Structure 1
Amino acid sequence: MRFSAQVKPISYLKANAAEILLNLAEKQEPMVITQNGEAKAVIQDIASFEQAQETLALLKLLALGNRDVEAGRTTPARAAIEKLRSTTTGH
């Protein structure tokens, strides 16, 4: 994805907000908004934002899991399954 095709000044955002929102939803590509020639903000459609947040959450869980493995905080699969079974059956 190239952000250079989606760089617009803030004046464009102000004048074309409704059209921009439609395009964001349709293309699902973020837009960089500039002010005085400097990038100041990125806007994107809500579906893409939510997907990105879910992806970040999964990556964080993977990173935490990797830290646990590196620190030796692991349990063999059989033991974990048995513990789950005993918790759900009350044994």
Structure 2
Amino acid sequence: MRYSSQVKPISYLKANAAEVLSHLAEQREPMVITQNGEAKAVLQDVASFEETQETLALLKILALGNQDAAAGKVRPMADVVARLRTKRAAV
């Protein structure tokens, strides 16, 4: 995805806020806002933001799992399944 087509100055955002928000929701592409010709912020719709946050959370879980595996904090799957079956039978 190329962000260069979605670069707008802050003055455009101020003058067209409702249109910008509508465009963000429809296109689901982030918009870079500039101030004095320099990129200062990125706007995106809420749904895209939430998806990004969920993706980051999953990636963090994977990274933590990889760290545990590298540190030797693993158990054979058969042991885990047996433990879960024992717990389930007790309930």
Q: TM-score normalised to the size of structure 1? A: 0.96
1:85 equivalent to 2:85? Answer yes
Partner residue, 1:11: 11
Runs of 4+ in 1 over 2 A off after TM superposition: none
Given residue 42 of structure 1, which amino acid in structure 2 is its aligned partner? Answer: V
Q: Distance in 1 between matches of 2:49 and 2:77?
A: 35
Query: Deviation of residue 90 (structure 1)?
Result: 1.7
Instruction: After superposition, give the CA deviation of every residue in 1:28-79 in whole Å (9 maximum; x if it has no partner).
Output: 0000001111111000000100000000000000000000110110011111
1:37 aligns with 2:25: no
Counterpart Cα distance in 1 of 2:32 and 2:25: 15
Q: Which residue of 2 aligns with 1:20?
A: 20
Q: Percent identity?
A: 66
Distance 1:80 1:34 in 2: 53
CA RMSD of aligned residues (A): 1.1
In structure 1, the gaps of 5 or more residues are: none
State the aligned residue count: 91
Q: What is the identity, as a one-letter code, of the residue corresponding to 2:81? A: I
User: What's 2:57 paired with?
Assistant: 57
SS in 2 for 1:73: coil
TM-score, normalisation: structure 2: 0.96
